[in-house]
Amino acid sequence: MDAASTEHDPARCTRLAPSPTGALHLGNARSFLVAWAIARARGWRVVLRIDDLAGPRVKPDAARRAIDDLAWLGLDWDGEPVVQSARLGRYAGAMRDLAAWGRVFPCDLSRREIHAALEAPHAEPGGVGAETRFARSLRPPLAPMVFDRDAQARGWRFATPDGPVTFEDAVLGAVTTDPARTIGDFVVWTRDGQPAYQLATILDDHDLGVTDVIRGDDLLESTGRQLVLARALGLAPEPRFWHLPLVVGPDGRRLAKRHGDTRLAHYRDAGVAPERVVALLARWSGVRGAGEAMTAADFARRFDPATMPRARTVFTDEDDRWLRAD
């Protein structure tokens, strides 16, 4: 952790970006609380972005519930929430540029066809879902194209340049990835007429002035893709990345329904105080003497990123019982 990561600087900014595809759980809460605490302790701005571009996976009223959960936990943000679905014109404009520069191409191949072009199927480790590596042999000749209304109804991929991508992570140090080798040409626009996560998030972060992206390490593999895409669009300066260890279940997998009901709303409805939840998150995050209750503001004052455990946290039945204890 260098001095640039700890200095007080009101020009810096991070974001909280819940996705309304489901309720916030303890794993989400830990990542959001740490991001918020790092920012507030250093005088940074915090923006709230609602990542609602997951199509049919977006659940009705989930965005409002996510906002309520964050506020219940004691988190705040600057300005009104930014909703991705209100920014489709911005994303389409970036696609028009990429198409005109010959950096993207339409792709209507099925997952089965992409698999068939590989010697062996390759699922990306971590990242957003299991994604199939796109073989270079499937890429058509690149040329300037027009991204018009008809084009928006097709899937499009970014022509990933060869070579490793190295960046300095505030938590992990120097990280090198090779998106051309691990994932190949990745989706930037879907057949549903919406941008893929990688395109939307880099444009949002740039436009909102986000200088520090603080998130779970399940998104580490996405960073290389986001950097090559941002560079193709000329988005600068690049944000600083902080990849935090995830909260997982006893099986080592991301916290989910299979590990029981860990939703914040579940504990709130059971009468658990937010200070109790924050105290558990503080224990997980290396805060000494967290006790049995702690406010988010206290967490921000006492949390030190340098003492946060680097290993992933395992949520256990004992944690659940501790939260519910009178």
* pLDDT, position 125: 43
For the chain, helix, strand, coil in percent to 5 are: 40, 15, 45
CA–CA separation, 136 vs 186, rounded Å? 11
Beta strands in the chain (DSSP E): 13-16, 45-50, 82-83, 104-106, 156-158, 165-169, 173-177, 186-189, 212-216, 240-244, 247-248, 313-314
Topology of 11-80+248-324 in CATH? Rossmann fold (3.40.50)
Beta-carbon count within 10 A of 122 CB? 18
One fold for 11-80+248-324 and 81-244: yes
* pLDDT, position 123: 35
Query: Could you tell me which residues come within 8 angstroms of residue 94 by beta carbon, excluding any fewer than 6 positions away?
Result: 195, 199, 203, 233
Mean pLDDT per segment of 10 residues, for the chain of length 326 residues? 63 95 91 98 97 78 93 98 96 98 94 57 40 88 97 95 97 96 94 92 98 95 96 98 94 80 93 98 95 96 95 94 88
Domain positions in the chain: 11-80+248-324, 81-244
| The CATH number fitting domain 81-244, selected from 3.40.50.620, 2.60.40.1930, 1.10.287.610, 3.40.640.10 | 3.40.50.620
